């Protein structure tokens, strides 16, 4: 099929096209439209024109449109899930049903869950002389720049709270995974008024042009820390509001009293969800020396029980890495770990080069100072680091420049909770990792970004506060 963008309610071609690659085969799926800066200007102008009327609707009127979108997306489930697998690589079902169907289900959950929230006015003071009200007002045009790891769900994370609070949106998905989002745009075309939602695809230039654009009032960006810093610099030209969800190098700490057989499947699943290509996946595992060997054994059993293969194959638990660059980074980090004396418990060697397949890999006899521990691998390779002192390991966990998530694993819930609260990260879990939901705020600190998503707190990120002083006499 021919893919088109959405600008001002119309399906439009790009000025040229670019190839979209299937990471399971390294072959071209199709061509996607390449937007021009002039088309970006058209989309922003359309969004600005549509803003007053959309913002003037009642909350219930906007909510009804958003729920209509959820129903229309659900009606296109099979097509969207298959497209997602083809361009992103994740299996249709995958390990523990956490593949493309999992992302699709999350997409619906976040639309419908977010639609339940409303920001009402708050009366700060009321007496015979003065009434003071606080109102949350939409910002205007929101620019959304989304990544390639969860192209459909993260797009929804950006656009639904923006639209619900009365903003209009210009969205650019990753050039590596634009197809599912372009299909989403066509589904939304007949639901929202022209200009309320605009979607442009691009290999390059459009994202940076959005950050600089004087007609965009806020940027929501999910992606790498270096790119986030570039977005922040460009956004300063008109003091755009920003929500930045950037890289992470999440630490998990397994205490001596942990129930190893019970937690091993959870650790495995949360480290390797989406083949490790998840911002809040468990990426550094610190394990007390008394249970280190037993946990390693349990994780290896799990690793040996799964299959990495083409996501379209029903028996594939994990798919390929999404792109060649990420594939090469994982290989590079593995080779550096080998050179530094790390022990590879399983994996570590490419056995199928028909796609960007890298096996589930577990590494121990490694510590801080090695790239695999210090850097975000964003792939299916987990370093397991032995420790003996809890205070010392907490310091090591917090020494990272990142601060997205962290976890503590123990049968002593009170002790684990106290330790989790001392982790320097935006989200902390006890006996789990990376579990997020629409009603719980999510965001990072330090080099992992700033701003919160989800729930009422997330809605507020798309508004400004207006305080109205009403003098009664």
Concatenated DSSP letters of 195-224: TSEEE---SSSHHHHHHH-TT--EEEEES-
Q: How many residues in total does the chain contain?
A: 473
Position 125 in a domain: yes
- The conformational region for residue 316 under phi > 0 = left, psi -120 to 50 = alpha, else beta, is beta
Residues 217 and 98 in one domain: yes
Active site residues: 245, 279
Residues 375 and 408 in one domain: yes
Residues 257 and 201 in one domain: no
Diameter of the chain by CA atoms?
80
Neighbours of 9 (CB within 10 A): 17
- For 310-363, how does the pLDDT look when each residue is reduced to its tens digit (9 = 90+)? 999 999 999 999 999 999 999 999 999 999 999 999 999 999 999 999 999 999
Residues 269 and 197 in one domain: no
Position 442 in a domain: no
Range of the domain at 176: 5-246+448-471
Position 256 in a domain: yes
Position 443 in a domain: no
Residues 240 and 280 in one domain: no
| Dist. CA 462–CA 445, nearest whole Å | 19
pLDDT of residue 312: 98
pLDDT of residue 473: 80
Residues 298 and 169 in one domain: no
Residues 256 and 241 in one domain: no
Residues 299 and 157 in one domain: no
Alpha carbon distances (Å) from 331 to 69, 243, 327, 348, 377: 41, 31, 6, 8, 10
Task: Count the alpha carbons within 13 Å of 421 in the hemisphere toward its beta carbon.
Answer: 5
CATH code of 18's domain: 3.40.605.10
Residues 197 and 214 in one domain: yes
pLDDT of residue 54: 99
- For 269-320, how does the pLDDT look when each residue is reduced to its tens digit (9 = 90+)? 999 999 999 999 999 999 999 999 999 999 999 999 999 999 999 999 999 9
- For 2-38, how does the pLDDT look when each residue is reduced to its tens digit (9 = 90+)? 999 999 999 999 999 999 999 999 999 999 999 999 9
Residues 356 and 234 in one domain: no
CATH code of 421's domain: 3.40.309.10
Nearest to 42 by CA among 238, 209, 218, 228: 209
pLDDT of residue 1: 75
Number of domains present in the structure of the chain: 2
* Series of mean pLDDT values for 10-residue runs along the chain (473 residues): 95 98 98 98 98 98 98 98 98 97 98 97 96 98 98 98 98 98 98 98 95 98 97 96 97 98 98 98 98 98 98 97 98 98 98 97 98 98 98 98 98 98 98 97 98 97 98 89
């Amino acid at each position: 099929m021919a893919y088109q963008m959405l600008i001002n309610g119309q399906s439009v071609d790009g000025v040229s096209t670019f190839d979209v690659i299937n990471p399971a085969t390294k072959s071209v799926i199709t061509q996607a439209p390449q937007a021009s800066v002039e088309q970006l200007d058209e989309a922003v102008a359309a969004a600005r024109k549509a803003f007053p009327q959309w913002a003037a609707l009642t909350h219930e009127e906007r909510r009804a449109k958003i729920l209509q979108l959820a129903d229309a997306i659900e009606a296109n489930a099979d097509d969207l899930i298959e497209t997602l697998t083809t361009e992103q690589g994740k299996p249709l079902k995958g390990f523990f049903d956490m593949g493309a169907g999992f992302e699709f289900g999350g997409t619906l959950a976040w639309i419908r869950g977010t639609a339940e929230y409303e920001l009402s006015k708050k009366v700060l003071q009321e007496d015979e002389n003065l009434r003071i009200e606080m109102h949350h007002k939409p910002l205007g045009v929101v620019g959304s720049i989304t990544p390639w790891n969860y192209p459909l769900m993260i797009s929804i994370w950006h656009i639904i709270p923006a639209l619900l609070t009365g903003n209009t949106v210009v969205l650019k998905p990753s050039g590596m995974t634009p197809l599912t989002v372009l299909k989403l745009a066509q589904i939304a075309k007949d639901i929202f008024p022209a200009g309320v939602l605009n979607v442009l695809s691009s290999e390059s230039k459009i994202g940076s042009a959005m950050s600089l654009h004087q007609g965009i009032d806020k940027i929501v960006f999910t992606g790498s820390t270096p790119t986030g810093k570039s977005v922040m610099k460009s956004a300063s030209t008109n003091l755009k509001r920003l929500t930045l969800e950037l890289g992470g190098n999440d630490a998990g700490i397994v205490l001596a009293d942990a129930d190893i057989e019970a937690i091993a499947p959870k650790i495995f699943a949360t480290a390797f969800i989406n083949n490790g290509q998840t911002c809040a996946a468990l990426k550094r595992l610190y394990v007390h020396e008394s249970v280190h060997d037993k946990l390693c054994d349990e994780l290896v059993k799990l690793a040996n029980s799964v299959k990495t293969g083409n996501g379209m194959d029903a028996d594939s638990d994990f798919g390929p890495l999404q792109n060649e660059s990420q594939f090469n980074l994982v290989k590079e980090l593995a080779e550096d770990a080998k050179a530094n004396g790390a022990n590879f418990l399983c994996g570590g060697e490419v056995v199928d080069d028909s796609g960007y397949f890298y096996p589930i890999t577990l590494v121990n006899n490694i510590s801080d100072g090695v790239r695999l521990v210090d850097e975000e691998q964003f792939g299916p390779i987990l370093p397991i680091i032995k420790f003996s002192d809890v205070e010392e390991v907490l310091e090591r966990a917090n020494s990272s420049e990142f601060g997205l998530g962290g976890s503590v694993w123990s049968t002593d819930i009170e002790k684990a909770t106290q330790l989790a609260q001392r982790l320097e990260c935006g989200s902390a879990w006890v006996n789990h990792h990376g579990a997020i939901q629409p009603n719980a705020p999510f965001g990072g600190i330090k080099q992992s970004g700033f701003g919160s998503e989800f729930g009422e707190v997330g809605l507020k990120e798309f508004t400004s506060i207006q305080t109205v002083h009403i003098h009664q006499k």
